[in-house]
Amino acid sequence: MKNRLEGSLQRSVSDWKIKRKRSTREGKQVPRAVVDDITPSVPSGSHHKQPGDHIDARSKVRKLLQLYQATYRKLKQVKEQGIPIVGRIYLEAAKAVKKDPVYTKLGAIVGNVPGVEVGDEFYYRIELAIVGLHRLYQGGIDTSKVNGVPVAISVIASGGYPDELSSSGELIYTGSGGKAGSNKDGSDQKLERGNLALKNSIETKTPVRVIHGFEGESRIEVGGGMLARGPKGEMVFKYKLQRIAGQPELTLHAVKAIRKSKIREGLCLPDISQGSERIPICVINTIDDMRLAPLKYITEVTYPTWCEKEPQKGCNCTNHFSDPIRCACARKNGGEIPFNRDNAIVKAKRLVYECGPWCRCPSTCYNRVSQHGVKIPLEIFKTGKTGWGVRSLGSISSGSFICEYTGELLNGEEAENRQNDEYLFDIGRNYYDEELWEGIKSVVDVQSSTSSSGTMKCFTIDGAECSNVGRFINHSCSPNLYAQNVLWDHGDMRRTPHIMLFAVENIPPLQELTYHYNYKVGSVHDENGNEKVKHCYCGASDCRGRLY
């Protein structure tokens, strides 16, 4: 393989046109995207960053994308309610992001885009432009000039053309134009614009970012720096791009290999829930010989006898999309349904009311999301430094419901007396990213969230002895989930809202799921009053070093 690639570098431009072999290409799926790490081998020096700069760059990229996604969800919901929106939602959301002080317009970047990592996933092309990954909303080859020569800086391999990514990291990329990109009879591709730029990238050995698209879906995953090595043939341009070594394994290949394999490596338990969840939740350990301590798996919180479930007043809606003006539950939510029709939560709130057993609406009502339980293929896995953790085998889109944090409900005194405090979740100590929601507020009319406090403080869920997958989710100082208080089957908001975890951003497969435990450093003491210290190993670039 290596020899063949090196050989193709010797070819001249005139060798590059090849006849498309339709018969072998037909029906072939464009590879599901994946990403590789981005290489520093960049000719233009302008974007070189110091290691410390990446910390800010990563936070900035995530914040911009979270803001985009949250704004998009809100606008989509507004549109679903029949309120006209001037312009297309995805463009309006991008406009809003561009007004945010964190946003800076980026020029052409060759190679690594600060803050973007191999494996990041995007659902809209415009998100790529926002972070500077690929500036064209439609074209597949983004170009720039380096030393006066036009070169390709990023390409999208997305199903319009018969591109192929092999597991060895070789991508055959089809040039643009001609009939290759359409079903119509057309002309040959020409060696101009993007095609010429790609040829120049090969000759100047300029790295090209590859963004893989998913056929039939709008999801796009970022491809890492690939070195264009050379095309062959006639009629269309074919470029052989070879992944630059040293980048992380492509998620696409890892997930494919897992799904294909008959025996899952490191499988300890096929389903910890023993059938009580809709989909099995397996336990994987590829790190050491440790096995999971026994756990009584419960999908609902266990309430003590002193806790009487207060009934709620239900709504009288009879279909699955309630009228936010008339629906009693929507009114409790400030006159809106907190979810859009993709079942994504629109924004974090102090408390969300879902429809419940006292409502007349069907189970398919859009205001019933977290009460339906886990729908994402979660798995518990052994991490390197933080014990067991949780991840998903599939992609998760921003706003998706993940799972509840179940366990035994305790009052403050009972919680204080528990010997094992590792699995205590204090109701009312949820963490919200105020800045994010404030950012959205500036562009669309949304309620500001506030940290829950005061009355909801003195009750705790203990997941030590009996709980669900939620009790394995670790803390991160830069989390991808947040804990939302939800009421649906009772009205006891003072003591016992359900703790429901939702995604705050798009999360690629196999990435660890985390939320912020929201401890104040120095606030946890032992029975003798001595401060307890727990070091944080979340690995986030902005890790504060301690859980408490």
Chain residues that interact with ligand SAM, rule: CB under 6 A: 386-389, 422-423, 471-472, 474-476, 536-538, 547
Residue closer to ligand SAM by CB (options 143, 514) is 514
Neighbours of 114 (CB within 10 A): 19
Task: Identify which of 433, 461, 462, 438 has the alpha carbon closest to the alpha carbon of residue 448.
Answer: 438
In this structure, which amino acid lies at residue 456? M
Q: How far is the CB of 51 from ligand SAM (least distance, A)?
A: 22
Q: How far is the CB of 140 from ligand SAM (least distance, A)?
A: 40
Residue closer to ligand SAM by CB (options 342, 542) is 542
Residue closer to ligand SAM by CB (options 68, 472) is 472
Residue closer to ligand SAM by CB (options 337, 483) is 483
Residue closer to ligand SAM by CB (options 215, 542) is 542
Neighbours of 336 (CB within 10 A): 21
Q: Which residue has the tokens 């100590």?
A: 429
Residue closer to ligand SAM by CB (options 204, 286) is 286
d(C-alpha 205, C-alpha 199), whole Å: 10
**φ, ψ for residue 440, nearest 5 deg:** -70, -35
Q: What angle do CA 29, 30, 32 make, to 5 degrees?
A: 105
d(C-alpha 431, C-alpha 515), whole Å: 8
d(C-alpha 205, C-alpha 193), whole Å: 18
In 340-458, the DSSP E strands lie at: 352-353, 378-382, 388-392, 401-404, 408-411, 424-426
d(C-alpha 439, C-alpha 70), whole Å: 10
Q: What angle do CA 9, 10, 15 make, to 5 degrees?
A: 95
In 24-140, the DSSP E strands lie at: 121-122
Cα 187 versus chain centre, distance? 40
Residue closer to ligand SAM by CB (options 397, 478) is 478
Q: How far is the CB of 536 from ligand SAM (least distance, A)?
A: 4
- Angle 89-99/51-80 helices, nearest 10 degrees? 140
Q: How far is the CB of 391 from ligand SAM (least distance, A)?
A: 13
Cα 18 versus chain centre, distance? 39
Q: How far is the CB of 419 from ligand SAM (least distance, A)?
A: 13
Residue closer to ligand SAM by CB (options 276, 386) is 386
- Tell me which residue has its CB nearest to ligand SAM: 387
Residue closer to ligand SAM by CB (options 459, 472) is 472
Q: How far is the CB of 475 from ligand SAM (least distance, A)?
A: 4
Neighbours of 189 (CB within 10 A): 24
Q: How far is the CB of 242 from ligand SAM (least distance, A)?
A: 37
- β-pair type (121-122, 220-228): antiparallel
The two structure tokens encoding residue 215: 């056929």
Q: How far is the CB of 420 from ligand SAM (least distance, A)?
A: 9
Residue closer to ligand SAM by CB (options 69, 476) is 476
Q: Is the dihedral of CA 43, 47, 53, 59 positive or negative?
A: negative
d(C-alpha 330, C-alpha 336), whole Å: 5
Q: How far is the CB of 197 from ligand SAM (least distance, A)?
A: 44
Q: How far is the CB of 472 from ligand SAM (least distance, A)?
A: 5
Contact indicator for 502, 375 with CB cutoff of 8 Å: no
